[in-house]
Amino acid sequence: MKLISAKEAASKWDISQRRVIALCSEGRIPGAQIVGNSWVIPSSSKKPEDARTKGSKNKASEAKPFLKWAGGKGQLLSEISKHYPFGNNVHIKKYAEPFVGGGAVLFDILNKHDVDEVYISDINAELINTYKTIRDNPDELIDILKNMEEEYLPTDADGRKKFYLEKRARFNDLKRNGVHDAEAAALMIFLNRTCFNGLYRVNRSGDYNVPMGAYKNPQICNEDLLLADSKKLQNANIVCGDYKESTSFIDENTFVYFDPPYRPLTKTASFTSYTEHLFDDNKQLELAKYVQDLDNKGALIVISNSDPKNTDENDNFFDDAYSNQNIRRVAANRMINSNSEARGKINELLITNF
């Protein structure tokens, strides 16, 4: 019986190599087997009927976050989007997001509204490098991710763990040496898709230290999504730096969304650190002052943060800090907690100046 590789089958059936590997893993290609570290398929095999939901390809081609991001705003988009000022205020033609993180609000806005100028930033250099690589060099990024995916998915648990730890060490080596290129961006995405709970956490030395997750068939390379995101980011000004560097961009024609590191609800609630720099109460107050300065310039602003009143109804920290703004409390799911029974509805704050 003649066998062909997953890559050859993908070309023959006009689907992605990752899809072929997934079909093999699901047992949907009779006679498919692992030889060495790769799937091989009988050359006479026919393309299985696609059992995925119709229209999934169209959904995949929409610009969406390319990372799973702790604290991401996907679940609050319906509430946040109620405050988008585009269309209601014709003078708002610019968008700024100085703590871009996973970019759920960014991509939602870019999908729905025409914006003349976009500014996004974050202090996480590896995250910003990934945004820039997706914007400027998506083809090389996709090639590297496909190679990682082809090597990682067919291996057993021990092989996957060895591969993961090697890539994590390589990522930290590049990070320590300040190397920001397509390989570093691909490693960022690979680790995010295969690590425990999609966390990005570093220790005090700045090393990424999240262990491997237990996903059976993680999607490491979503080519359609990366190309869609690249298209939407073409005119974005992407900056690695402190949020205050956005000052020169933001004016009375700008809508600004701030999603800073949340203030912990308890002293032990800070589960992770996105960088080796902490965002304590003093920094929260500095941000509130900066927001007031932008308010004085005429910008329209929305800020997200935790609600201290979830654990102490007398804690008026944000009510006092943003006393000149409008504070709304909206229900959200607690997504991160070591105790699954403690993951439930809590309030978060949406603070606006309009």
Lowest model confidence (mean pLDDT) among 38-52, 255-269, 274-288, 298-312: 38-52
**Residue pLDDT, tens place only, 202-233:** 998 999 999 999 999 999 999 999 999 999 99
- Please report the pLDDT score of residue 344 as a whole number: 60
| Measured torsion, CA atoms of residues 320, 325, 326, 328, in degrees rounded to the nearest 10 | -50
Give the relative orientation of helices 223-232 and 125-136 as an angle to the nearest 10 degrees: 90
**Residue pLDDT, tens place only, 77-103:** 999 999 999 986 678 999 999 999 999
Across 227-236, b (16+ Cβ under 10 Å) vs e yields ebbbebbeeb
Quickly state the pLDDT bin for 257 (edges 50, 70, 90): very high
Q: Number of helices (H) and strands (E), helices first, in the chain?
A: 12, 10
**Residue pLDDT, tens place only, 149-174:** 999 999 999 999 999 999 999 999 99
Q: Quick one: CATH architecture of 59-123+241-352?
A: 3-Layer(aba) Sandwich (3.40)
CB-based burial label for 339 (10 Å; 0-12, 13-18, 19+) = exposed
Judge contact between 113 and 84, C-beta under 8 A: yes
Judge contact between 339 and 321, C-beta under 8 A: no
- Please report the pLDDT score of residue 87 as a whole number: 80
Asked whether residue 273 carries a pLDDT value surpassing 60, the answer given is no
Q: In this structure, what DSSP letter does residue 99 have? A: S
Q: What is the mean pLDDT of the chain?
A: 89
DSSP-H helix ranges across the chain? 6-13, 17-25, 56-60, 77-80, 104-112, 125-136, 138-152, 157-176, 182-194, 223-232, 281-297, 317-321
- The arithmetic mean of pLDDT across residues 166-188, rounded, is 98
CA distance 135 to 342: 39
Q: What does residue 135 show for φ and ψ, rounded to 5 degrees?
A: -70, -45
Asked whether residue 303 carries a pLDDT value surpassing 90, the answer given is yes
**Residue pLDDT, tens place only, 33-71:** 888 778 889 999 988 875 543 334 444 478 999 999 877
Q: Report which of residues 343 and 328 the model is more confident about.
A: 328
Amino acid type, 91: H
Asked whether residue 291 carries a pLDDT value surpassing 60, the answer given is yes
Domain ranges of the chain: 3-51, 59-123+241-352
CA distance 221 to 224: 9
CA distance 321 to 312: 16
To which residue do tokens 């700045």 refer? 206
Judge contact between 276 and 261, C-beta under 8 A: no
